[in-house]
């Protein structure tokens, strides 16, 4: 268990969301998509240009830019290198 | 026994929709339909109301108000209000504020609903249930409809609806709006709610749910107690993504799709529009021949019918574009396209969702602006609406081709590969695109400075679009365009026509003089002197000092004024003006223009058209979509200033060079 930014987790990483450090309006929207502490995630793929990336959260696929994912902190199951 | 009552709601027999005789439930009038985005709410709304729905804006906001009688289930006495798709009732968004106001009866002009249909996507129940608690807390009789039961079944998910109903204290039913399954619980529920029958469910004390996190943990507890099993992720959806979002193949497919849409709209839509225009012109001429030759005929044909025509010719292209956008959106590809385009769009301060609307704007800004509805963020949507008219739409092509053919020599470069005329045409496309880009950047740094909206995109599973949903979408958009834009375009066309024939007494005298001799009158024919002496003609002369620096004379001025209705009108107006001028009337329009304009003025004219907002249809749609006159007026002023400045510079530079 190691807290990292979601944007740093490699493709294929699974784990749990720890905390979200974003303005309330954005974190509120993200929360309703499943980005809440304790919810499982998986890094699925990235867009052809590398950014945004697609995450599987709570059974739903969500695309996020790295600039947003940088403020979501997660615990990876395996020790993923930053 | 009370438990059995509940199961009757939960587990209906497989019968067709039995209409409940109206009058048995006199108290019930209004039903609200609420649910998160993408839960299939609109499909259900269409299922329940059929095609008889009304669309309007709520007062003071840009949120659409859909309502309709529940005719399809035999309840013509009930009005169903479709609330905007929302995740929660927290008033962060305009949509949620509207939903709360309607549900609590605070929305002016909208009756307070008597009961609620809450639609949730059964395949993501943990997440979707978060909306249930706040909706229940409003205290209206609520039926929970777990939609997409077919997908839940086919992917191995399950839910105990009876247990869930007990947990929630409200009746629950599994339905499939897309396939019309399980919908007979709705008339049953409405009957019970109307008759105030006990549904056999004990009210449940819901925890006070302030934050999203507490809502979520409540939802998770509820679903785990009711043996909810979420369905497996579709494997082929993932496999398709590994191709469509592939590093190399993905963008190639994306470009191919974009090219195909473009190609079809131009190769099929353009001739269809032109063909429709010809048919309408002939029809108008035939009908006009049957009418007595007087001012009324002129009003009907040149004023009203031309207005109707200028609206209708847009329809084929609009419908084609919406068919494509509909297929892309319903299949789930639009979200992938947005993901691919995001990187490029970010460079101009927009996000990937703006790509398709901006692409559509190359055909016509009207459907493009209507397509911006897929952009949830209001500020980015506004920015997209404001820059879309800079894209070179097909209505600019008539004046472009006229001026290029008249002034640009047909010289070829690089061994007949590139023609000078094609290069000028491409250049005009390019400057339009650049103007959009610069404007987007300006908006990004000024208007939207504080916005900084993140790009958050839900990627739905791939699905086959259904003919019914595509048909409904086309019907809805077509009707919207004709009704809202149509009335405003019509009004503007009429105003311009009236201005082009007033002062009326001149026309009247002509009628009186010719009526006695029984010769063919000239009232319906716009003669040179008529136009020159009309209010528009006077305006043309009046603005001449302003446009002279651009290299335009007063005839071009009249053309510019008349083209405010629609860009392509200028070619017709110039044709009339030069055609009736004794000095030029034996020459073709191209030759006449060559003799009457300098090269600088001619190029300045097309540059002016590249930037100017000469389109009442677009202004009308912007007014509709932003629900205020502020933006269309601002947009018109801004684009006119840009166009004037650019045309002035063009004229000065070209006049000095050649």
A30/B455 CB distance under 8 A: no
User: Does B510 score more than 80 pLDDT?
Assistant: no
In angstroms, what separates the C-alpha of B124 from chain A's closest C-alpha? 7
B458/A62 CB distance under 8 A: yes
Q: How confident is the model at residue B244 (pLDDT cuts 50, 70, 90)?
A: very high
B137 half-sphere exposure, CB direction, 13 A CA radius: 15
The reported pTM is: 0.74
Q: For the ranges A52-56, B129-133, B257-261, B389-393, which has the lowest average pLDDT?
A: B257-261
Kindly tell me the sign of the dihedral angle through the C-alpha atoms of B581, B587, B589, B593: negative
**The dihedral formed by the CA atoms of B213, B215, B219 and B221, expressed in degrees to the nearest 10:** 70
Q: How confident is the model at residue B648 (pLDDT cuts 50, 70, 90)?
A: very high
Query: Is residue B503 classed as helix, strand or coil in its secondary structure?
Result: coil
Taking residues B179-202, what's their average pLDDT?
81
Higher pLDDT, B211 or A70: A70
* Residue in B118, B95, B99 with CA at minimum distance from that of residue B107: B99
B window 314-353, beta carbon within 8 A of A: 335, 338-340, 342-344, 346
User: Does B85 score more than 90 pLDDT?
Assistant: no
Whether the CB of B87 is below 8 Å from some CB of chain A: the reply is yes
Q: How confident is the model at residue B80 (pLDDT cuts 50, 70, 90)?
A: very high
Q: Which helix (H) or strand (E) holds B98?
A: helix B94-103
Query: Is residue A10 classed as helix, strand or coil in its secondary structure?
Result: coil
Taking residues A44-52, what's their average pLDDT?
89
Q: For the ranges B185-194, B249-258, B357-366, B538-547, which has the lowest average pLDDT?
A: B357-366
User: Does A15 score more than 90 pLDDT?
Assistant: yes
pLDDT of residue B484: 58
Taking residues B455-480, what's their average pLDDT?
82
A49/B340 CB distance under 8 A: yes
Query: Is residue B57 classed as helix, strand or coil in its secondary structure?
Result: strand
B124/A58 CB distance under 8 A: yes
Higher pLDDT, B25 or B599: B599
Whether the CB of A26 is below 8 Å from some CB of chain B: the reply is yes
Query: Is residue A42 classed as helix, strand or coil in its secondary structure?
Result: strand
A31/B246 CB distance under 8 A: no
In angstroms, what separates the C-alpha of A7 from chain B's closest C-alpha? 14
Q: For the ranges A68-82, B57-71, B94-108, B325-339, which has the lowest average pLDDT?
A: B57-71
Give Cβ neighbours of residue B5 (< 8 Å, ≥ 6 apart): B197, B198, B199, B200
Q: How confident is the model at residue B143 (pLDDT cuts 50, 70, 90)?
A: very high
Mutate to test the interface with A, among B457, B460, B462 (most CBs of A within 10 A): B457
Return the top range by mean pLDDT from B86-95, B117-126, B200-209.
B117-126
Candidates B36, B335, B454; nearest CB to A68: B454
pLDDT of residue B31: 93
User: Does B307 score more than 60 pLDDT?
Assistant: yes
Q: What percent of chain B has pLDDT over 90?
A: 18
Phi, psi of A46 (to 5 degrees): -120, 160
Q: For the ranges B181-195, B317-331, B411-425, B553-567, which has the lowest average pLDDT?
A: B411-425
Higher pLDDT, B129 or B302: B129
User: Does B45 score more than 60 pLDDT?
Assistant: yes
Please give the full DSSP string across B180-235, using - where no structure is assigned.
TBSTTHHHHHHHHHHHT---S-----PPP--SHHHHHHHHHHHHHHTT-BPPPPPH
Q: Considering only CB atoms, which chain B residues are within 8 Å of A32?
A: 36, 87-88, 127, 130, 212
pLDDT of residue B16: 41
Q: How confident is the model at residue B524 (pLDDT cuts 50, 70, 90)?
A: very low
In angstroms, what separates the C-alpha of B254 from chain A's closest C-alpha? 11
Mutate to test the interface with A, among B124, B454, B461 (most CBs of A within 10 A): B454
pLDDT of residue B43: 83
Q: Rounded to whole angstroms, how far apart are CA atoms B329 and B184?
A: 29
pLDDT of residue B525: 44
Q: For the ranges B163-172, B352-361, B639-648, which has the lowest average pLDDT?
A: B352-361
In angstroms, what separates the C-alpha of B426 from chain A's closest C-alpha? 27
Q: Rounded to whole angstroms, how far apart are CA atoms B236 and B108?
A: 47
Q: Considering only CB atoms, which chain B residues are within 8 Å of A31?
A: 212-213, 216
pLDDT of residue B4: 40
A31/B212 CB distance under 8 A: yes
Taking residues B632-645, what's their average pLDDT?
95
B458/A48 CB distance under 8 A: no
The edge-to-edge listing of strands for the beta sheet with B115-121 is B53-57, B64-70, B75-82, B30-34, B115-121, B142-147, B172-174
Whether the CB of B426 is below 8 Å from some CB of chain A: the reply is no
Give Cβ neighbours of residue B303 (< 8 Å, ≥ 6 apart): B493, B494, B497, B498
User: Does B511 score more than 60 pLDDT?
Assistant: no
Candidates A30, A50, A61; nearest CB to B459: A61
For residue B359, give the DSSP letter.
Answer: H
pLDDT of residue B515: 46
User: Does B512 score more than 90 pLDDT?
Assistant: no
Q: Rounded to whole angstroms, how far apart are CA atoms B80 and B85?
A: 15
User: Does B259 score more than 60 pLDDT?
Assistant: yes
For residue B302, give the DSSP letter.
Answer: I
Q: What is the mean pLDDT of chain A?
A: 87
ipTM of the complex: 0.89
User: Does B325 score more than 70 pLDDT?
Assistant: yes
Q: Rounded to whole angstroms, how far apart are CA atoms B358 and B392?
A: 10
Q: What is the mean pLDDT of chain B?
A: 80
A window 47-76, beta carbon within 8 A of B: 47-52, 54, 56, 58-65, 67-68
Cβ(B309)–Cβ(B283) below 8 Å: no
Q: Rounded to whole angstroms, how far apart are CA atoms B310 and B542?
A: 27
Q: How confident is the model at residue B97 (pLDDT cuts 50, 70, 90)?
A: confident
Note the maximum CA span of chain B. 96
B346/A62 CB distance under 8 A: no
In angstroms, what separates the C-alpha of A39 from chain B's closest C-alpha? 10
Taking residues B461-473, what's their average pLDDT?
83
B233/A45 CB distance under 8 A: no
A60/B124 CB distance under 8 A: yes
Q: Rounded to whole angstroms, how far apart are CA atoms A27 and B233?
A: 25
B127/A54 CB distance under 8 A: no
User: Does B394 score more than 80 pLDDT?
Assistant: no
């Amino acid at each position: 268990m190691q807290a990292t930014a979601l944007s740093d987790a490699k493709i294929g990483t699974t784990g749990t969301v720890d905390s979200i450090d974003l303005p309330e309006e954005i974190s509120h929207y993200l929360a309703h998509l499943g980005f809440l502490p304790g919810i499982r995630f998986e890094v699925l793929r990235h867009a052809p240009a590398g950014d945004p990336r697609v995450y599987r959260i709570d059974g739903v696929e969500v695309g996020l830019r790295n600039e947003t994912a940088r403020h979501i902190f997660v615990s990876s199951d395996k020790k993923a290198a930053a | 026994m009370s438990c059995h009552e509940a199961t009757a709601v939960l587990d209906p027999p497989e019968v067709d929709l039995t209409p409940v005789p109206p009058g048995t439930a006199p108290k019930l009038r209004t039903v609200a339909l609420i649910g998160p985005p993408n839960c299939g709410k609109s499909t259900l709304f269409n299922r329940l109301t059929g095609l008889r729905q009304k669309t309007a804006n709520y007062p003071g906001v840009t949120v659409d108000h859909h309502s309709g009688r529940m005719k399809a289930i035999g309840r013509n006495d009930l009005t169903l209000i479709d609330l905007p798709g929302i995740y929660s009732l927290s008033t962060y968004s305009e949509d949620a504020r509207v939903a709360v106001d309607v549900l609590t009866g605070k929305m002016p002009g909208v009756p307070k609903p008597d009961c609620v249909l809450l639609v949730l996507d059964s395949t993501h129940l943990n997440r979707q249930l978060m909306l249930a608690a706040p909706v229940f807390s409003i205290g209206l009789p609520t039926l929970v409809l777990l939609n997409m039961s077919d997908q839940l079944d086919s992917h191995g998910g399950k839910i105990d609806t009876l247990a869930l109903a007990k947990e929630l204290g409200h009746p629950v039913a599994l339905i499939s709006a897309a396939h019309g399954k399980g919908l007979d619980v709705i008339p049953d529920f409405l009957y019970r709610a109307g008759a105030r029958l006990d549904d056999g469910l004990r009210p449940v004390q819901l925890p006070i749910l302030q934050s999203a996190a507490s809502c979520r943990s409540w939802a998770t507890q509820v679903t785990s107690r009711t043996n909810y099993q979420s369905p497996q992720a579709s494997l082929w959806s993932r496999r398709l993504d590994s191709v469509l979002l592939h590093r190399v193949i993905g963008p190639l497919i994306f470009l191919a799709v974009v090219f195909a849409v473009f190609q079809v709209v131009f190769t099929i839509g353009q001739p269809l529009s032109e063909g429709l225009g010809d048919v309408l012109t002939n029809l108008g001429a035939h009908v006009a021949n049957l009418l007595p030759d007087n001012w009324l005929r002129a009003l009907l044909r040149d004023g009203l019918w031309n207005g109707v025509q200028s609206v209708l010719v847009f329809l084929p292209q609009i419908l084609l574009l919406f068919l494509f956008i509909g297929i892309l959106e319903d299949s789930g590809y639009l979200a992938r396209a947005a993901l691919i385009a995001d990187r490029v769009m970010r460079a101009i301060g927009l996000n990937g969702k703006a790509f398709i609307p901006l692409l559509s704007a190359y055909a016509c800004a009207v459907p493009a602006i209507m397509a911006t509805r897929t952009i949830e963020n209001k500020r980015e949507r506004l920015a997209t609406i404001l820059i879309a008219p800079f894209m070179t739409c097909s209505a600019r092509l008539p004046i472009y081709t006229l001026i290029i053919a008249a002034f640009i020599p047909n010289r070829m470069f690089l061994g007949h590969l590139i023609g000078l005329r094609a290069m000028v045409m491409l250049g005009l496309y390019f400057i339009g695109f650049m103007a959009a880009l610069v404007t987007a950047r300006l908006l990004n740094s000024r208007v939207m400075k504080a916005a900084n909206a993140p790009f958050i995109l839900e990627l739905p599973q791939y699905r086959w679009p259904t003919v019914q949903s595509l048909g409904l979408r086309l019907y809805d958009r077509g009707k919207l365009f004709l009704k809202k834009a149509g009335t405003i375009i019509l009004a503007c066309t009429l105003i311009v026509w009236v201005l082009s024939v007033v002062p009326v007494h001149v026309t009247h005298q002509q009628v009186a003089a010719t009526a006695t001799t029984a010769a063919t009158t000239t009232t319906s024919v716009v003669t040179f002197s008529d136009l020159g002496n009309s209010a528009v003609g006077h305006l043309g002369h009046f603005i001449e000092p302003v446009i002279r620096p651009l290299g335009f004379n007063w005839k071009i001025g009249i053309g510019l004024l008349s083209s405010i209705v629609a860009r392509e009108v200028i070619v017709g107006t110039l044709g009339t003006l030069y055609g009736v001028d004794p000095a030029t009337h034996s020459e073709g329009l191209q030759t006449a223009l060559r003799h009457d304009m300098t090269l600088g003025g001619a190029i300045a004219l097309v540059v002016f058209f590249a930037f100017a907002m000469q389109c009442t249809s677009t202004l009308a749609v912007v007014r509709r979509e932003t629900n205020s006159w502020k933006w269309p007026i601002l947009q018109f002023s801004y684009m006119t200033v840009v166009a004037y400045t650019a045309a002035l510079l063009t004229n000065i530079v070209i006049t000095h060079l050649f």
